């Protein structure tokens, strides 16, 4: 067991999510060798925010490196039994899904798809797979206030489940 990936096999719930993907896509357990790809994916997800920040490029890169390193360590520490999965398209990394299947809920820790593959139903397929694998458990997630992903989550049946805390908003989809 290592700090990024508690297991090297898909859990039964992870296998159920993988079964929901369109042809050409697959999920596999995340490995330490995936860190460079995950850093690129992290940067893509923060690109709009960084464009509005009047910092030199080197400072933006250093900030994103730091934020990625902290997030990576935090997820491994707080969710040691989660499925940390790499989405592949035709054998090449295309996204990430980190989900914790717990007794009382399934919690989506992180979901990200490469920019060039967005708006093609891949994120929807991943979340529908999580929802199906969760069965009678609610599915929860946390999203940044004002995120362009909120309408996407709402279309899949997620609703606010409490007041926003700082820059974060908790959402839940009941079974």
Distances in whole angstroms, Cα of residue 146 to Cα of each of 49, 77, 82, 149, 151: 12, 27, 27, 8, 10
Whether residue 7 contacts residue 29, with contact meaning beta carbons closer than 8 Å, is answered with yes
- The Cα 125–Cα 107 span in angstroms is 16
**3-state SS class at 51:** helix
**Per-residue model confidence as pLDDT tens for the chain (175 residues):** 344 665 556 777 878 888 889 899 999 999 999 999 999 999 998 888 888 899 999 999 999 999 999 999 999 999 999 999 999 999 999 999 999 999 999 999 999 999 888 888 899 999 999 999 999 999 999 998 888 899 999 999 999 998 778 889 999 999 9
List strands edge to edge, sheet with 83-89.
25-29, 83-89, 92-101, 106-113, 139-144, 168-173, 159-160
Which helix (H) or strand (E) element contains residue 108?
strand 106-113
DSSP letter string over 109-152? EEEEE-GGGTTSSHHHHHHHHHHHHHTTS-EEEEEETT-TTHHH
Domains and CATH numbers, the chain: 12-34+81-173 (3.40.630.30)
Beta bridge partners of 168: 144, 165
Put simply, whether the predicted model's pTM sits higher than 0.75 gets the answer yes
CA–CA–CA angle 97, 141, 105 (5° rounding) = 90
Candidates 114, 137, 107, 34; CA nearest to 98 is 107
């Amino acid at each position: 067991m290592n700090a990024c990936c508690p297991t090297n096999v898909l859990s039964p719930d992870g296998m159920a999510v993988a079964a929901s993907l369109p042809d050409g896509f697959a999920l596999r357990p995340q490995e330490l060798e995936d860190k460079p790809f995950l850093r690129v994916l992290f940067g893509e997800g923060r690109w709009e925010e960084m464009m509005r920040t009047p910092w030199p490029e080197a400072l933006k890169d250093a900030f994103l490196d730091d934020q990625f390193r902290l997030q990576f360590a935090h997820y491994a520490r707080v969710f040691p039994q989660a499925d940390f999965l790499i989405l592949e398209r035709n054998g090449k990394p295309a996204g990430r899904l980190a989900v914790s299947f717990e007794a009382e809920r399934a919690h989506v820790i992180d979901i990200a798809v490469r920019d060039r593959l967005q708006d093609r139903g891949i994120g929807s397929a991943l979340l529908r797979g999580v929802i199906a694998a969760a069965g009678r458990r609610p599915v929860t997630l946390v999203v940044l206030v004002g995120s362009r992903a909120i309408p996407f989550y709402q279309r899949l049946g997620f609703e606010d489940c409490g007041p926003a805390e700082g820059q974060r908003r908790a959402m839940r989809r009941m079974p």
